[in-house]
Structure 1
Amino acid sequence: MTKHIPLQATSACAAVPPSAVLDSAHLGEIRGALGTIAADDRAPRRTLKARLQTLLAIAGPGLIVMVGDNDAGAFGTYTQAGQNYGTTLLWTLLLLIPVLYVNQEMVVRLGAVTGVGHARLIFARFGKFWGAFSVADLFLLNALTLVTEFIGISLALQYLGLSQFWGVIAAAVIITFAVSTGDFRRFERFALLLVAGSLLLIPVAVMVHPPLPQLAHDFFVPKMPAGAPLGEVMLLIIAIVGTTIAPWQLFFQQSYLIDKRITPRFIRYERWDLCVGIALVIIGAVAMIGFSAAAFAGRPEFGAYTDALGTAHGLEQAAGRLPAILFALALLDASIIGAAAVSLATAYAIGDVFAVAHSLHRKPSEAKGFYAVYAGLIAFAAALVVTPGMPLGLLTNAVQTLAGVLLPSATVFLLLLCNDKAVLGPWVNRRAGNLFTGAIVAVLVLLSVILTVSVLFPGVGETTILGILGGGVVGALLLSGAVALIARRGQGVRAEPPARSVVAPEEWRMPLLATLPPARLSAVSRTWLLVLRGYLVLAAGLVLYRIVELIAR
């Protein structure tokens, strides 16, 4: 594999610092699925037509990462919520909207401003331990998540009456080939076609026609399912959070945005792309919970969820064959886009960390390692799914559990990086964003603890869960206060302030990583990172031990 040294980007402004971009393929014109923007195009967009054309050219990263998140695991989680508890948990989606935007908007700024992937930034600013931990965490989780994507493909094929074995193999070949053409625009068009396919969920909801007033009420008014065990409901809520806010999203969107060559000049357009993607993911989630609730209401299967195949059969019995077929096709579509995005997130991270060619603009012969990682993960997941006797249900649960346990660490580093002035310069977080993200981290840690305890001790009672919730509220307040203190003392990652620059924010980019002043964590940040390290090592180790124990039985 040929190494690529950091490159200096040319600019019309001589004061612009050199770019830290690691692969020369990440520099040049933007060649999106729906338009092109020249590398030297700095003309102001004064008319509505010009702005729409720019938005179309920029659109892609936000749409793909969000719709890709409504993957096979999400199909299982949302339809389980609808079949078991009706529409009573719709309000969780409303609460997740600002969380999705804040998390992924920070990723947008990091990608556009730095030109360096998430894993490489963690290595550079927090050291080898956390860098290696983030990559190992991502690799393990993504490999397991890919298995769930091919399980989704298998279930969809089974309902459609097609060969599961040959269908899974064919899907693996298609997913691999779609990424390996050496043409970024061609892949993005393929991905956006799959994004459009996610809209199949809307006619399913129309044909099943769940009561709209009830959907609106439960979306805006929080309540818990009456008579349902608190422990089971909490685990499902955690699964909804885990499937909606997944660690791979951070790595994928940042690297894909870099590969698309988006710079700070186009951040506001990328924010709109993200907003449209969030709207699509929420619409899809509401549709799945809504039509699953309506299809199983009053039936013996209500409260007895099995899998997405069972959902398809339930839809057929409630509303006919057509909506069930559309649901199966939507599941197939979602699993394919999810598999492509998850594999790319890993391949990008590996290429970024080792500074080797890692771009969809390159042909496989020009980026052998990048495409080998991508294709290897796809082949591994497909092989597991078609292997007889494989505990696929256990693997699916393992993905949700580990994602829930490890998610807080990804958000912590995202927050710290977005407060590093040497990295983001004029694009660092504001205090309000820090307080909100600090509260998100506290909630994620709390949910992670509940999930870990529930997996390790299946007989845990409601009293224990309520105790964890009560203690978590106190912890959330303390952590929010700590984040406020971090913001007041230099926002967590303190580096020597860069020389004052006259470069406009839309032209500012992170200088070469080797030239950045060392990051110096405040005492508060170091303390929280040590606590987080201890918790993650213990919790992840215990969960993995539990999974191995169950497989051995």
Structure 2
Amino acid sequence: MQQKSPQYVHDKENSGLGGALGRGLISGAADDDPSAIGTYASAGARFGPDILWTAPVTLPMMFTIVYLSSKLGQVSGRGLFQAIHDFYPRWLLWIVLTGVVLGNTIEAAADLGGIAASIGLFAPLPAPLLVAIVAAVIFALQIFGSYTLIRNIFRWLALTLAAYVAAAFMAKPDLLATLKGTFIISLEFNKEFLSILVAIIGTTLSAYLYSWQSNEEVEEKIANGQTTLIERKGTSYRELRRSRRDILIGMTFSNLIMYFIILCTGATLHANGQTDIETAAQAAEALKPIAGDAAGYLFAAGVVSVGFLAVPVMTTGAAYDLAQSFGWKGSLHASAREAPTFYVIIAVVTAIAVVTAIAVAMNFLGFNPMKALVWSGIVQGFSTPPLLLLIVLMTNNRRIMGDKVNSRGLNVMAYLTIAAIFAASIGLVVSWFL
């Protein structure tokens, strides 16, 4: 089995501004997984331009938390859950681990269902069969190839999401309503609005991204020959500045895609009274201004591409988290023979995601694949706040970070992010009872 050198949020090669721009655009598109696309499309269809403000509000949140995760991996030389394992009590580790693995698995299942539903637009096969085929292909690429192979195949296709930008302009949205929705925060204290708000926050700040980011910083050090913890600990301010730049580019592009998906679906679906998305075909209609009858194919290309990028990150992220929590060897640089438990976990998480996705496709759980994409975001919105708080605490701990603890500005933004997520989640719970 070949040695693997996966890089997700950024590559170290071609470190100039041009290389950073290319890496950022690609990774930004990959961050908008099928759950995100389904959530943003549902938000735009239901609330139109009134919910556009969520894009500029979540951008600094996305940048802050992903950068802190990157910084933790670079400075401590540990993955996220390895750091929790080494510095915090076991009871806290198990609580956070349960929430994160559950969230990752549910989102992976929703994404598999979303991919299958998108392929079903032009391949009339049974949805359970499509789910199984997609999962088998992704797992085979992980085991017999590498995440780098998956990335190289699908990352450029992920840029088809940029079609939402053109489609939004061609749909000719109302300028005044767009400006108002972008710059004026409009809140509704009811279950429907708060559900979408929690889903948006959950899918933009999904736990799999933090874990993957910190672990890939460690994997890059291992690839450079720094195989022991002592060798991996520490980084330069220059490397941290490079990380800030790359992550800012990536998160900005991801956020722009979010903005234009909401704007596009608001200007097409919402404006025509179609406020509830039940199928992939309905979601694809938002791309008709630019693609016409080929809108379904364009929508499917985007969803399939980002799904193939994101699902391996979720299943492998769960494997990283579990392996580090139990002290098992876990690295994509290790072969299946060298780290069998790690790859068994990936297989088990994938299998659970497949079963869940098939249950959704067969309507056993009471909602369709497009609704499942939104619900997976809600689950992430509930499961990630404790992990976010731990990341902030760890990156302020001098035992872990030395002299590279957070600045006051980063801490302010991080705690505002945590407060916003907790407030939205609590508001949603209250709305269920009222």
Normalising to structure 1: TM-score of the pair? 0.67
Q: Which residue of 2 aligns with 1:390?
A: 364
Q: Which residue of 2 aligns with 1:346?
A: 318
Task: Choose 394-403 or 108-117, whichever is displaced more.
Answer: 394-403
Q: Which residue of 2 aligns with 1:110?
A: 72
Where relative contact order (Cα < 8 A, 6+ residues apart) is larger, the structure is 2
**What's the RMSD between the two structures over aligned residues?**
3.1
1:207, 1:323 within 8 Å by CA — same for their partners in 2? no
Q: Are the structure 2 counterparts of residues 36 and 204 from structure 1 closer, same or farther at C-alpha, using a change threshold of 3 Å?
A: closer
CA drift of 1:328 comes to 1.8
Q: Which residue of 1 aligns with 2:51?
A: 89
Q: Does 1:281 align with 2:241?
A: no
1:68, 1:334 within 8 Å by CA — same for their partners in 2? yes
1:210, 1:293 within 8 Å by CA — same for their partners in 2? no
Q: Which residue of 2 aligns with 1:244?
A: 204
In structure 2, runs of 5+ residues without a counterpart are 225-233
Percent identical: 20
The counterpart of 1:410, out of the listed 387, 408, 412, is 387
Q: Which amino acid aligns with 1:399?
A: S
**Cα deviation code 1:495-528 (max 9, x no counterpart):** xxxxxxxxxxxxxxxxxxxxxxxxxxxxxxxxxx
In structure 2, how many angstroms separate the alpha carbons of the residues matched to 1:31 and 1:447? 35
In structure 2, how many angstroms separate the alpha carbons of the residues matched to 1:277 and 1:367? 31
Q: Are the structure 2 counterparts of residues 252 and 389 from structure 1 closer, same or farther at C-alpha, using a change threshold of 3 Å?
A: same
Q: Secondary structure at the match of 1:306?
A: coil
Q: Are the structure 2 counterparts of residues 215 and 119 from structure 1 closer, same or farther at C-alpha, using a change threshold of 3 Å?
A: farther
Task: Choose 265-274 or 239-248, whichever is displaced more.
Answer: 265-274
Normalising to structure 2: TM-score of the pair? 0.84
Q: Does 1:306 align with 2:278?
A: yes
Q: Which residue of 1 aligns with 2:172?
A: 211
Q: Which amino acid aligns with 1:347?
A: A
**1:84-483 equivalent positions in 2, closer than 5 A:** 84-163=46-125, 164-181=127-144, 186-207=146-167, 209-211=170-172, 213=175, 217-218=179-180, 220-224=182-186, 230-261=190-221, 264-265=235-236, 266-301=239-274, 303-313=275-285, 315-316=287-288, 320-387=292-359, 388-391=362-365, 393=367, 399-455=376-432, 457=433, 460=434
2:26, 2:158 within 8 Å by CA — same for their partners in 1? no
In structure 2, how many angstroms separate the alpha carbons of the residues matched to 1:398 and 1:81? 12
CA drift of 1:268 comes to 2.3
**Cα deviation code 1:467-507 (max 9, x no counterpart):** xxxxxxxxxxxxxxxxxxxxxxxxxxxxxxxxxxxxxxxxx
CA drift of 1:205 comes to 3.9
Q: Which amino acid aligns with 1:211?
A: K
Q: Which residue of 2 aligns with 1:77?
A: 39
Higher helix proportion: 2
In structure 2, how many angstroms separate the alpha carbons of the residues matched to 1:158 and 1:31? 30
In structure 2, how many angstroms separate the alpha carbons of the residues matched to 1:285 and 1:436? 21
In structure 2, how many angstroms separate the alpha carbons of the residues matched to 1:132 and 1:52? 41
* Count of residues in correspondence between the two structures: 410
Task: Choose 76-85 or 355-364, whichever is displaced more.
Answer: 355-364
**Cα deviation code 1:310-331 (max 9, x no counterpart):** 2124645996212232012211
**Cα deviation code 1:149-184 (max 9, x no counterpart):** 1110121022123423433222112211222246xx
1:72, 1:149 within 8 Å by CA — same for their partners in 2? yes
**Cα deviation code 1:113-142 (max 9, x no counterpart):** 111111121222220011111111111111
In structure 1, runs of 5+ residues without a counterpart are 1-24, 38-48, 461-553
**Cα deviation code 1:513-549 (max 9, x no counterpart):** xxxxxxxxxxxxxxxxxxxxxxxxxxxxxxxxxxxxx
In structure 2, how many angstroms separate the alpha carbons of the residues matched to 1:231 and 1:211? 30
Task: Choose 160-169 or 335-344, whichever is displaced more.
Answer: 160-169
